[in-house]
Structure 1
Amino acid sequence: MDYPEHERTYAGFINFSKVGTIAVLNVVLCLLLFTFGGGAGTFFGWIAMVATLVTAAIGMAIGEKGWIPPAIVFVVAGLLAIVTTA
C-alpha cells in the first residue's frame, strides 16, 4: 500500500467532510430565510446561498483550513436569520 498517497486521500476526505457539513448547515439556514424571512429573508437567503457555493469551492481548494470561509458565511447567515425572522 502506498502510505503517503493514503494519507493525502484521507486528508482530502476530512477536508471535504468539514466543508460539506458547514455547507449543508448553510443551506438549512437559507431554507429558514426563504420560509420565514419575508421579502428581505428571500433576498438575503439567495445571497447566502450563492456565497455558500462560492466559499465551499474556495474551501475545497484551500485545503486543511478550508472550513473557515463557509463558517464565516454560516455566522453571517445565522445573524441574518435572527434579524429577518424575528
Structure 2
Amino acid sequence: MSDNSAPAMDYAAHERTYEGFINFSKVGTISVLTIVLCLVLFAFGGTVAHVFGWLMLIAMMITAAIGAAIGEKGWIPPAGVFVLTGILAILTV
C-alpha cells in the first residue's frame, strides 16, 4: 500500500526544463540550416563565396552560443545570421 510519502512534482523546474529544450531545438534547427547554406557557398561559389561561407560559419557558432545562453528569445541572433547567409548565397552563387 502507498503511504503517500512521494514528493510532489516540481512544476517550476519542469517548465524551465521544457522551455530550455524548446529554445535549444530552435537554435539547433536554425544553426543546421545555416550550415547547409554555408555548404552551398563552399560548393557552388567562387573565392568570395568561400570567404563569406567561413565568416558566416564562425558567426553562426558565436550566435548559437549566445542564443543558447539568452533563453526564450535565443533564436533571434542565429536567425539573423541565417538570413544574412541566405542573402549572401543568393548574391554570390
Aligned to 1:75: 83
Aligned to 2:92: 84
Give 1:7 shift: 0.5
Is residue 6 of structure 1 aligned with residue 21 of structure 2?
A: no
Equivalent AA in structure 2 for residue 33 of structure 1: L
Give 1:47 shift: 0.1
Give 1:34 shift: 0.4
* 1:23-42 alignment, distance < 5 Å: 23-42=31-50
* 1:39-78 alignment, distance < 5 Å: 39-78=47-86
Between the aligned partners of 2:79 and 2:11, the Cα distance in structure 1 is: 31
Between the aligned partners of 2:53 and 2:80, the Cα distance in structure 1 is: 15
Structure 2: runs of 5 or more not aligned: 1-8
Q: Percent identity?
A: 68
Aligned to 1:21: 29
Secondary structure at the aligned position of 1:65 is classed as: coil
Secondary structure at the aligned position of 2:84 is classed as: helix
Structure 1: runs of 5 or more not aligned: none
Q: After superposition, give the CA deviation of every residue in 1:22-66 in whole Å (9 maximum; x if it has no partner).
A: 000000000000001111111000000000000000001110000
Structure number with bigger Rg? 2
Q: Name the one with the larger helix percent.
A: 1
